[in-house]
Structure 1
Amino acid sequence: MAPATVTREASRATPSRTDVVLSLRDVVKTYGEVGALRGVSLDVSAGELVAIVGPSGSGKSTMLNIVGTLDRPTSGTVTIAGDEVGSMTDDELSALRGEHIGFVFQHFHLQSGATAAENVADGLLYSGVPRRERHERAVAALGRVGLGHRVDHRPPQLSGGEKQRVAIARAIVGEPTILLADEPTGALDSASGAAILGLLRELNDGGTTVLVITHDLELAASLPRRVRVRDGRIEADSGSEQ
């Protein structure tokens, strides 16, 4: 482990699997007269692998934006890694995202003219990490996702599955508390999708809390906890079943 990583990890306690790292309480989100979320409450503990599943228009994408602090609830409370985010400034929210949240998007959002390592290093752009260290950590993250041999390749030279691995490496390069994966297999063929799901499982086995947002019922059924969302409400949560 690189010295910088040791220093960073020593600066914060590692949560046990029973620690709640994400908590929503009575979260409401409205857009005009449209209620996208209607009183959602949810706890996710450290080390969980959770599917947030629902059809288009169910509210799962709004939940992603709320959990990722990209949007603010109309009412209710959101707590990330012990910090209640409601009163935070935009700068404080940006710092929280940089420290605790990694994003993986369905369509990758990679810069086509940048190498894989440069795309991954962008995940540390606003963290204050020096440029050389950003590159070193990016190369290490690509190694973690099985792309150590692709660090100098650009997105047009990569397959869809490899692009998604680069996106995952970018999301984990800052060692986030929570990894949010938005339809991570939706743009991939079945074989590449299965490989990406396997990688997310490996990351989870290593201690990363992973939330997979999906409309794919088969994918959701393969994960240990399933939270089903419909019409802006949690319809079912296998984590609450006895």
Structure 2
Amino acid sequence: MTELLTVTGVGKTYPGATPVRALADVTLALRSGERTAIVGPSGSGKTTLLHVAGTLERPSRGSVRIGGEEVSGLSDAAVSRLRAHRLGFVFQQFHLLDHLDAVQNVALGLLYHGTPARQRRAAAVAALDRVGLGDRLGHRPAQLSGGERQRVAIARAVIGKPDVVFADEPTGNLDSAAGSTIVALLAGLADDGTAVVVVTHDQAVAAAMDRHVLMRDGRIVSDDGAPR
């Protein structure tokens, strides 16, 4: 499998009167087609690792490479472009715009690709079909169930065909039936070579992934998918 994203020796400390060390010497490689669950107790650094690996935050030290490109030397604008083209995100809160319908919300995933509006719409329709919402194209978020809104968010995350999709507690606001659908959709993305990374407290969600990375006190303490 191809390494798509690597973090090497990464640390993250939040400054303040009492600095908070959220990550300490974390090394992790994400490979094509992998389904990875990042687990651990609250405060262990799971979400911080997702944010740093996903370039939403810069590390205090260490290296983040996406497609072999070192991120640390890039400007904020260049990092944003790289993120838009190579990464997708799904969060516990759906982050959909209430005044836009499903197609318009999903099409936002291509906003920074320079794709013409007509092609953005066609790609959004295809992405919604992929997640089983071909009959909800004109519905706004308030007209959708929680599970449907999360499927819209997944469609938005994958519309640009990213190398890696990060999901942070994606089933946290859903009932068990809707949550199972979302987990199956996320796991299925790996069939096309996408690396899927899920941060979760839910044992059922973690069990659906192939690789399990356990964090504690800002460090990776076990990784059953690490190269040997």
Deviation at 1:186, TM superposition (A): 0.8
TM-score when scaled to structure 1? 0.90
Taking the aligned partners of 2:203 and 2:222, their CA distance within structure 1 comes to 13
- Corresponding position of 2:159: 173
Does residue 218 of the first structure (1) align with residue 201 of the second (2)?
A: no
Taking the aligned partners of 1:217 and 1:59, their CA distance within structure 2 comes to 18
**8 Å Cα contact 2:214-2:222 kept in structure 1:** yes
Percent identity between matched residues is 55
Deviation at 1:27, TM superposition (A): 0.3
Which of 145, 151, 176 is equivalent to 1:190? 176
- Corresponding position of 1:231: 217
Taking the aligned partners of 1:240 and 1:155, their CA distance within structure 2 comes to 39
Deviation at 1:241, TM superposition (A): 8.1
5 Å-filtered alignment, 1:56-71, equals 56-71=42-57
Which of 150, 166, 172 is equivalent to 1:164? 150
5 Å-filtered alignment, 1:1-16, equals none
Letter matched to residue 237 of structure 1: D
Taking the aligned partners of 2:139 and 2:208, their CA distance within structure 1 comes to 32
Deviation at 1:240, TM superposition (A): 3.2
Does residue 40 of the first structure (1) align with residue 26 of the second (2)?
A: yes
Which of 80, 103, 107 is equivalent to 1:121? 107
Which of 63, 73, 76 is equivalent to 1:77? 63
Unaligned stretches of 5+ in structure 1? 1-17
- Corresponding position of 1:98: 84
Deviation at 1:235, TM superposition (A): 1.1
TM-score when scaled to structure 2? 0.96
- Corresponding position of 1:19: 2
- Corresponding position of 2:13: 30
**8 Å Cα contact 2:187-2:208 kept in structure 1:** no
Taking the aligned partners of 1:79 and 1:187, their CA distance within structure 2 comes to 32
**8 Å Cα contact 2:102-2:139 kept in structure 1:** yes
Unaligned stretches of 5+ in structure 2? none
Taking the aligned partners of 2:181 and 2:31, their CA distance within structure 1 comes to 25
3-state DSSP of counterpart to 1:126: helix
Deviation at 1:121, TM superposition (A): 0.4
Does residue 149 of the first structure (1) align with residue 109 of the second (2)?
A: no
3-state DSSP of counterpart to 1:125: helix
Which of 189, 192, 206 is equivalent to 2:192? 206
What's the CA shift string for 1:62-82, capped at 9, x where partnerless? 101101101111110011111
Deviation at 1:98, TM superposition (A): 1.0
3-state DSSP of counterpart to 2:112: coil
What's the CA shift string for 1:7-35, capped at 9, x where partnerless? xxxxxxxxxxx111111111000012211
- Corresponding position of 1:4: none
**8 Å Cα contact 2:23-2:218 kept in structure 1:** yes
Taking the aligned partners of 1:60 and 1:165, their CA distance within structure 2 comes to 23
Q: Summarize the Cα distance change of 1:229–1:20 in structure 2 as closer, same or farther, 3 Å threshold.
A: same
Letter matched to residue 103 of structure 2: A
**8 Å Cα contact 2:169-2:198 kept in structure 1:** yes
Deviation at 1:217, TM superposition (A): 2.8
